[in-house]
Amino acid sequence: MPMKEATKNLKTLHRQHHQLADSSVQVSILGDEHHQYHLIPFQQKLEESGLYPLSPKQLEIFQVNLGKMCNQVCRHCHVDAGPDRKEIMSRQTMQECLNALQKNPSLKTVDLTGGAPEMNPDFRWFVEEIKKLGRHIIVRCNLTIILANKKYHDLPQFYKDNKVEVVSSLPFYTADRTDRQRGDGVFDDSIRALQMLNEVGYGKENSDLLLNLVYNPAGAFMPPPQEALEKEYKKALKEKYNIVFNNLFAITNLPISRYLDYLLQSGNYEKYMIKLVNAFNPAAASNVMCRNTLSVGWNGFLYDCDFNQMLDLKVDIKNNHISHFNTADLNKRSIVVNQHCYGCTAGSGSSCGGTVA
């Protein structure tokens, strides 16, 4: 497989039997239970801004995690995804998601993520069934999956046939910085995959086939301004590889899973968290994605966001599984927050769609 080098030197926390593979250990560190870091509680920042308890707006985006299986093992993955992860969503749970969508027309967008969502054996069936319901579909594609196996080579055409919006991570527009974060050879495979998407019409001017890229920092710092970075990406990718795309989303790394491990191992955790705390922006906090998005885990449990999902912080309602989906209860809930939420509210803010303020 093209990605064998990417996974050779890095194993998932799960496979290492690392203590951070336990979400409760992560929550304990973030909560500073040993009083080591003395950070201002995120709840206090919300209270000072008149935003606590944080309440949802109308649900519009249904983000569904199809599993933790992935062909890559990226250094900063907050999902701790990889080839050794076997958790995948069943077709029964997918059907329960479809039932919820059918009953809730306000959920206009379905955002499919993973792992590599395409590795779920029912992925294509699910996409086609969602399309029958007239919803807009986003797929978080890691790009290299398109080249990982012959059975994935036609994904660009499949996406086109179903008018899927493709959102793909490309940590930088050079090979060295991308491969450092995602593994040897990832950049070259990503470039070829982007060219394949362009060939079927993605990212082209006057095309309705949306291709968006995602940037996230390689180290313990916040992303630069999104608009300026997008211009850099577009210029470099066009000139060097004749690649075009629609938008760049700059996303702040949240202190979860492998990125939390990196921060702790490098001695950057406290310094990074202080940066996020000091950059807290009430305008970003008021527009965080958890206010109009609901996250569904691979096993059907409901979360306020994808990051809460990875920390196993379920929505604060009695029946918190997709099989008991209840819009009224969800609309009345208070959103569960913790220290990692600083990542979404620092500076211009951060969401799965880039900056929010």
Structure tokens at 329: 């209860």
CA dihedral 67, 69, 70, 76 (to 10 degrees): 80
pLDDT for res 179: 86
CA distance 202 to 245: 7
Please count the helices (runs of H) and the strands (runs of E) in the chain: 17, 8
Q: Which domains does the chain have, with CATH numbers?
A: 4-345 (3.20.20)
Q: List all residues 6 or more positions away from 14 whose beta carbon is below 8 Å from its beta carbon.
A: 21, 80, 82, 84, 85
CA distance 336 to 55: 9
Q: List the strands of the sheet with 293-296, edge to edge.
A: 247-250, 211-215, 165-169, 136-141, 109-113, 61-65, 293-296, 302-303
Q: Which residues pair with 88 in a beta bridge?
A: 67
CA distance 144 to 320: 34
| pLDDT tens digits along 191-228 | 999 999 999 999 999 999 999 999 999 899 999 999 99
Q: Give how far the C-alpha of residue 51 lies from the chain's centroid of Cα atoms, to the nearest Å.
A: 24
- The H or E element that residue 212 is part of is strand 211-215
pLDDT for res 33: 82
pLDDT for res 9: 62
pTM metric for this prediction: 0.95
Q: Which residues pair with 278 in a beta bridge?
A: none
CA dihedral 185, 187, 193, 197 (to 10 degrees): 180
Q: Is the distance from CB of 216 to CB of 339 less than 8 angstroms?
A: no
Q: At CB < 8 A and 24+ separation, what contacts does 129-133 make?
A: 129/94, 129/98, 130/98, 130/101, 131/162, 131/163, 133/98, 133/101, 133/102
Q: Is the distance from CB of 134 to CB of 98 less than 8 angstroms?
A: no
Q: Is the distance from CB of 71 to CB of 119 less than 8 angstroms?
A: yes
Q: How far is CA 302 from CA 10, 86, 111, 275, 344, in A?
A: 30, 20, 14, 30, 19
CA distance 357 to 355: 6
Q: Which amino acid is at 1?
A: M
Q: Give the residue among 2, 30, 65 at the shortest CA–CA distance from 336.
A: 30
* DSSP state, residue 221: S
Number of neighbours of residue 194 by Cβ within 10 angstroms: 26
Q: Which amino acid is at 326?
A: N
pLDDT for res 312: 98
Q: Is the distance from CB of 183 to CB of 5 less than 8 angstroms?
A: yes
Structure tokens at 96: 């329960």
- Stretches where the chain sits below pLDDT 50 are 1-7
CA dihedral 85, 256, 258, 142 (to 10 degrees): 60
